[in-house]
Amino acid sequence: MLLNLLFPDFIESIRYGVLAIVILVIGMPHGALDHIITYQSFPNQSKRTKRLGFYGYYFLMMTAYGLLWLWFPLGGFLLFLLITIYHFGRADAERFDFDESSKLLLTFTRGITIVGLIVYGSEPAYISRIVEVLTGYNSMALVAYIKPYFWIPLILAAVYPLAYAAVLLFTPNKTPSTLYHIDAIIVPVLFALGDPIFAFSIYFGVWHSYNHAQTMLRYLQKKQHEVSMKWFYQKTMLLSLISYAGLAVLYVITEAFGDMYLLLALLFVLISVLTLPHIFVVEMMYRKFGS
């Protein structure tokens, strides 16, 4: 946040590089463990059944969502917002030692704050251009009647901290770490003040992907597996390389058009198509954590 405030031009010049590093180093790999999570969740099935079930499921989900993007881009985008709100909130709220209703509240309010501020945060016109490339609709047109504009990011930034404060107020027997209190402030401020691409990169890499990978490793340890971050990268290497090849093709195609907005739009389509089946695998993992 300090870098954003002191060196905004520098941050703008490196934001795409930081995004690329985050996606390559942890973003893609953290979703490439889904097949192992699925296999370990159904130990009594044969290897052939598990493989056919997993890859069939992934292929059908990705194809269906890809067709939705192709035929109804606005619907694809709205679904992307919904799954991102839930997935970001769910992955982060799961660590809190609260009851399920409190976790559900924190899941959606955290997701709303993050996704809302990505779209209507520090550079809404920039993000609106990407949304327009994706869907043909201008996201700024939806809030043009709200004056002054600063109320929008202010309200969005307050959603999660207020919900977190309410949960603490009504569950006085719980005393979460002070780091969680700080987190409830830092995340909204990061997206409200920071460059949107840079803020997303930092959050997606440091908060979401790394912590989510750690949660998956803890799940496998619970299943009596010896795992580590080294093991994680070894096991995800092949699928990550396939994803990198897809990204390279995407980059070459969009580079021919010289349109960075198009590249970012297609990148988020790719992320969304990979995220939809990933969410259901993760949800299954959370439900089995207690078993």
* Mean pLDDT over each residue of the chain, to the nearest integer: 85
Mean pLDDT of 95-108: 84
Measure the CA–CA gap between 226 and 136, rounded to whole angstroms: 49
Nearest partner of 91 among 3, 197, 214, judged by Cα: 214
For the chain, give the percent of residues with pLDDT over 90. 14
> Which is more confidently placed, 78 or 178?
78
Which of helix, strand or coil describes residue 16? Answer: helix
Tens digit of each residue's pLDDT (9 = 90 or more) over 217-231: 888 888 777 888 889
Element (DSSP H or E) covering residue 223: none
CA distances from 247 to 31, 118, 143, 188 (A): 15, 22, 33, 29
The neighbour count for residue 52, using CB atoms within 10 Å, is 12
Locate 209 and state its tokens.
């992907």
Residue 214's Cβ-count burial label (10 Å; 0-12, 13-18, 19+) is middle
148 upstream amide cis, omega within 30 of 0: yes
pLDDT on residue 133 = 86
Mean pLDDT of 258-282: 81
Confidence of residue 289 (pLDDT cuts 50, 70, 90): low
Does the annotation place 212 within a ligand binding site?
yes
Is residue 257 scored above 70 in pLDDT?
no
In sequence order, what are the residues at sequence separation of 6 or more whose Cβ sits closer than 8 angstroms to the Cβ of residue 275? 31, 80, 83, 84, 87
116 close to 156: Cβ distance less than 8 angstroms: yes
Mean pLDDT of 122-140: 86
Which of helix, strand or coil describes residue 182? Answer: helix
Does the annotation place 181 within a ligand binding site?
no
Q: Is 227 left (phi over 0), alpha (psi -120 to 50) or beta?
A: beta
pLDDT on residue 258 = 67
Q: Which of 14-23, 173-182, 205-214 has the lowest mean pLDDT?
A: 173-182
pLDDT on residue 20 = 85
Is residue 246 scored above 70 in pLDDT?
yes
Mean pLDDT of 232-243: 87
Measure the CA–CA gap between 121 and 154, rounded to whole angstroms: 9
Measure the CA–CA gap between 31 and 44, rounded to whole angstroms: 24
Q: 41 lies in which domain range?
A: 2-288
In the numeric block, the tokens 């890499």 are attached to 205
Mean pLDDT of 96-103: 82
Does the annotation place 35 within a ligand binding site?
no
> Which is more confidently placed, 284 or 78?
78
Domains in the chain: how many in total? 1
For the entire predicted model, the pTM comes to 0.84
